Homo-oligomer: A and B are copies of this chain.
Amino acid sequence: MTVTESKQTANDLARKCAEEMLKNDPCSTALGMQLTDIGEGYAQMQMCIRKDMLNGHGITHGGLIFTLTDSCFACACNSRNQSTVAQSCVIDFIRPSYRDDVLTANAKETSLAGKNGIYDIVVTNQNGETIAHFRGKSRAIRGTIINN
């Protein structure tokens, strides 16, 4: 198997894991999240901001921005078919977003050492403006996402 083939195989596995997780995830489904890219150690997801995602200031509730990043983080850190959970997450809110905005979360793997991973997720709006920065720490546990 060439390096390119090997990478393709890893990315195929990542996609299968993400699809398996998301099809059983009522929360991400209810919020209308879409997986728009996926591969070994990275993921991209989108969500359109609905009225029921707004807070008392008429802007997107920070919790739902976090929820988008957290789902994207889960896809990236489970991409090697090793069950992995979030331990600790930090989110910094940069600017507000509004109803009908389309938010895109991009997750990349910053560190993977033994069972511990660090993933950085950036959330942007449809104009490419940064909405939030998220850093999540993951820890591998027993089990796999799919049987392979």
Partner of A62, one of B57, B62, B86: B86
A92-117 residues with Cβ-Cβ distance < 8 A to B are: 92-95, 110-111, 113, 116
| Complexed CA–CA distance, A83 and B87 (Å) | 21
Do B88 and A55 have beta carbons less than 8 Å apart?
A: no
Residue of B nearest to A24 (CB): B56
Oligomer copy total: 4
Question: Which of A29, A54, A74, A91 counts the most chain B CB atoms within 10 A?
Answer: A91
A28 at the A/B interface (Cβ < 8 Å)?
A: yes
Do A70 and B62 have beta carbons less than 8 Å apart?
A: yes
The size class of the interface chain A forms with chain B is: 35 or more
A11 at the A/B interface (Cβ < 8 Å)?
A: no
Partner of A110, one of B24, B66, B90, B133: B133
A 43-54 to B, binary, CB cutoff 8 A, 1 in contact else 0: 000000001111
A10 at the A/B interface (Cβ < 8 Å)?
A: no
A34 at the A/B interface (Cβ < 8 Å)?
A: no
Do A20 and B56 have beta carbons less than 8 Å apart?
A: yes
Query: Closest 8 interchain pairs by CB?
Result: A63-B67, A21-B56, A27-B61, A25-B56, A30-B52, A63-B70, A66-B66, A24-B56
